[in-house]
Structure formats: C-alpha cells, structure tokens
C-alpha cells in the first residue's frame, strides 16, 4: 500500500522544500519508490522555476507533481481570490494524490498547518486526515520556535494526527538560543528531533546533496 507523508512548517520559509527533497533522497536510499507533490506554488508565473524545480535539481527525480501555480506570493486561498481563479477542494486533491504510483508520497504544503489550501477552508489537517498521512513538522531553530512548534504539534495531536519533528536550516555555528532550542524542542513537544537540515543544503550540487541527505535524519517516517 502507498504511504503518505505531508510536510508542513511552523511558518513560511522554514525549509520545507529542502526537507522534502532530503526526505525523498533518504527514503529512496531505503529502496522505496518516492513521489513528491507540491500542493500550491505561489509567487511565480508560468515558466518560472518553483519549489518543485528545486526538488528535481537536488534529487534528480522525475516523480514530481505541482498541482497549482499562482501569481502572487501569498497564501494559496488569498492568491487564488486575487487572481480570480479556483482551486480544487482538498478532497479532490487527495483523490489525485491517491492515484500516484509510488511506495510513499511526500506532500509539501504551503506555509503553516492552518493555511487555507482551497476556497472552502481546507487545510493541511484536512488533507492529512483524507490521506491517513503522517505529518512532518519543519521548525526553525532560532528564537520563537518553541511557541510556534508547540502550537503546531499540539493542534496535530488534538486532531489525532501523528507528528514527526525536523529542524530546518540549522546553523553550522549555533548561538545560545539555537543550542538550547535543540534541547527544549523535544522536552516541550514530547517529540524527538528526527532530522537536522543544515543551512545552505539547498545550494549543494545534486551529487553532494544525495550523498549527505540520508545522514541528516536519525529516523524516517515509518508508517
């Protein structure tokens, strides 16, 4: 059976795309056929590179799918309303994802957990439920991450969903806040940190990224 993992963040710009690419490489190294879905790319127009192009550049995979592209760099719902276009409801998106032929499908969201993905108020929570998916939460390592991460993890648990925690864009020379947060995040969320993605990982060439990525994780989503 195909397994589904949705990748969300505590905020925008936390490193979801690079984390998704790294997960694709690490799971592929386990012998799994991995597909990657970007739900909605905002802030780009036709012909411009987006997040899914970064996944291809880093992993070399052709099993990638971008489901919506919107002009303005906003939440998908807001961008769609401004552009005067529709977005497929989450239930329809889930059906499309289920038709993909893969052992595991990684689904990258937009922004944080409760960002609206369609014009009916659907969120990553609704999609994760529809797919019976595990959820990888990508968190920042600096100031503010404790509150944002606890809120995200608490909401996922309240919804009966299974979260995993990864810290994105980790500094090679962490300061006091970054060092203490690596201890406090597991203590306050009750989750181990399953991965530390180094800052600048997205600028690596493909060979180096694929060589290093499996080592960034201490555990992978197991189903």
pLDDT tens digits along 139-151: 999 999 999 999 9
- Check if the beta carbon of residue 32 is closer than 8 Å to that of residue 104: yes
pLDDT higher than threshold 70 for residue 223: no
Confidence of residue 100 (pLDDT cuts 50, 70, 90): very high
pLDDT tens digits along 40-90: 999 999 889 999 999 999 999 999 999 999 999 999 999 999 999 999 999
Parallel/antiparallel/unpaired status of strands 134-139 and 69-70: unpaired
List the catalytic residue out of 38, 69, 116, 140. Answer: 38
Contacts of residue 148, defined as CB under 8 A and 6 or more positions apart, other chains included, come to: 10, 11, 112, 139, 140
What is the phi/psi pair of residue 152, to 5°? -65, -45
pLDDT single digits (tens) 184-218: 999 999 999 999 999 999 999 999 999 999 999 99
Q: Which spans in the chain are helix H?
A: 16-28, 51-59, 76-83, 90-98, 124-131, 145-158, 176-189, 206-212
Using CA atoms of 191, 93, 113, 40 in order, give the dihedral in degrees to the nearest 10.
120
Which residues are CB-neighbours of 194 under 8 A, at least 6 positions away?
A: 136, 164, 165, 166, 217, 218, 219, 220
Q: Domain extents for the chain?
A: 3-216
Fill in the DSSP letter of residue 184. H
Q: What is the pTM of this model?
A: 0.97
Mean pLDDT in residue range 18-46: 97
Percentage of the chain with pLDDT > 70?
99
Whether the Cβ atoms of residue 22 and residue 211 lie closer than 8 Å to each other: no
> Over the chain, what is the mean pLDDT?
96
Classify strands 69-70 and 41-42 as parallel, antiparallel or unpaired.
Answer: parallel
- Residue 18's SS3 state is helix
Note every long-range contact of 208-213, with CB atoms under 8 Å and residues 24 or more positions apart, other chains counting. Answer: 209/21, 209/22, 209/25, 209/58, 209/59, 210/25, 210/58, 210/59, 210/60, 213/21, 213/22, 213/25, 213/26
Judged against a pLDDT cut of 90, whether residue 222 lies above it is answered with no
The verdict on whether 16 is a catalytic residue reads no
**What kind of architecture, by CATH, is found in domain 3-216?**
3-Layer(aba) Sandwich (3.40)
pLDDT at 46: 86
Cβ(80)–Cβ(86) below 8 Å? yes
Element containing residue 53 per DSSP (H, E): helix 51-59
């Amino acid at each position: 059976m195909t397994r589904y993992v949705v990748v969300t963040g505590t905020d925008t710009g936390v490193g979801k795309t690079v984390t998704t690419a790294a997960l694709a490489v690490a799971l592929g190294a386990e012998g799994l056929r991995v597909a990657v879905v970007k739900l909605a790319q905002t802030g780009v127009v036709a012909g411009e590179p987006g997040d899914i192009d970064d996944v291809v550049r880093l992993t070399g995979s052709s099993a990638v799918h971008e489901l919506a592209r919107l002009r303005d760099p906003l939440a998908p719902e807001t961008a769609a309303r401004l552009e005067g276009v529709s977005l497929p409801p989450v239930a329809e998106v889930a059906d499309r994802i289920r038709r993909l032929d893969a052992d595991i499908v990684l689904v990258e969201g937009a922004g944080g957990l409760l960002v609206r993905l369609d014009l009916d108020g659907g969120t990553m929570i609704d999609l994760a439920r529809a797919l019976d998916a595990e959820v990888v939460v990508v968190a920042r390592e600096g100031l503010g991450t404790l509150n944002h991460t606890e809120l995200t993890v608490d909401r996922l648990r309240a919804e009966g969903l299974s979260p995993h925690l990864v810290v994105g864009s980790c500094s090679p020379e962490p300061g006091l806040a970054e060092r203490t947060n690596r201890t406090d995040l597991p203590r306050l969320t009750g989750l181990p940190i399953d991965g530390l993605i180094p800052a600048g990982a997205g600028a690596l060439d493909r060979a180096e990224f694929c060589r290093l990525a499996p080592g960034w994780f201490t555990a992978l989503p197991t189903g």
